[in-house]
């Protein structure tokens, strides 16, 4: 079990079922759709901001910037600034970020395999909800 010294000196035991556990913050990060897509697009190697934004599609620059900063803070990627004109910044997965590839591939495969079932369930739900007074 993972432990970390808490502010009161007592060991903190990671337990996702405990609402006070910081594990939930980690789940929020990796469960974010933009984080998932960033990890997938950086799998093949470093990308510049614009290339990453274009590859992902549909993400506002501000949101992507916030996501990249949070991922860097969490140790999932590195940001490398190259001293040139104009400045060039590359984003690359760290070993910790790369460790997310297997679970993200599993969730992605599940989503692709079941998308039709989920959309059909939504349609049925919406039809039922619309028919109720």
Predicted pLDDT at 1? 46
Q: What's the average model confidence in pLDDT over 44-55?
A: 96
Predicted pLDDT at 9? 62
Residue 30, classed as helix, strand or coil, is: helix
Q: Which domain holds residue 2?
A: 1-31
Q: Over the chain, what is the mean pLDDT?
A: 91
Identify whether residues 7 and 54 lie together within a single domain. no
Please state at what angle helix 49-56 crosses helix 61-73, rounded to 10 degrees.
Answer: 110
pLDDT tens string 81-129: 998 888 899 999 999 999 999 999 999 999 999 999 999 999 999 999 8
75 touches 96 (CB < 8 A): yes
Identify whether residues 19 and 44 lie together within a single domain. no
pLDDT tens string 64-78: 999 999 999 999 999
Instruction: Please give the share of the chain, as a percent, with pLDDT higher than 90.
Output: 69
Q: For residue 15, is pLDDT > 80?
A: yes
Q: Tell me, what CATH number does 109's domain have?
A: 1.10.10.10
**This prediction's pTM:** 0.84
User: What is d(CA 58, CA 96) in angstroms, rounded to the nearest whole number?
Assistant: 26
């Amino acid at each position: 079990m993972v432990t970390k010294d808490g502010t009161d000196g007592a060991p903190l035991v990671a337990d996702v079922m405990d609402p006070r556990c910081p594990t939930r913050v980690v789940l929020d990060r990796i469960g974010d759709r933009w984080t998932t897509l960033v990890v997938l697009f950086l799998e093949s190697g470093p990308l510049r901001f614009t290339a990453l934004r274009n590859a992902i599609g549909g993400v506002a620059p501000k949101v992507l910037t916030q996501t990249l900063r949070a991922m860097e803070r969490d140790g999932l990627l590195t940001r490398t600034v190259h001293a040139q004109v104009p400045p060039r910044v590359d984003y690359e997965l760290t070993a910790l970020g790369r460790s997310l590839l297997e679970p993200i591939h599993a969730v992605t495969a599940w989503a692709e395999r079941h998308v039709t079932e989920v959309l059909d369930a939504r349609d049925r739900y919406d039809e039922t909800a619309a028919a109720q007074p």
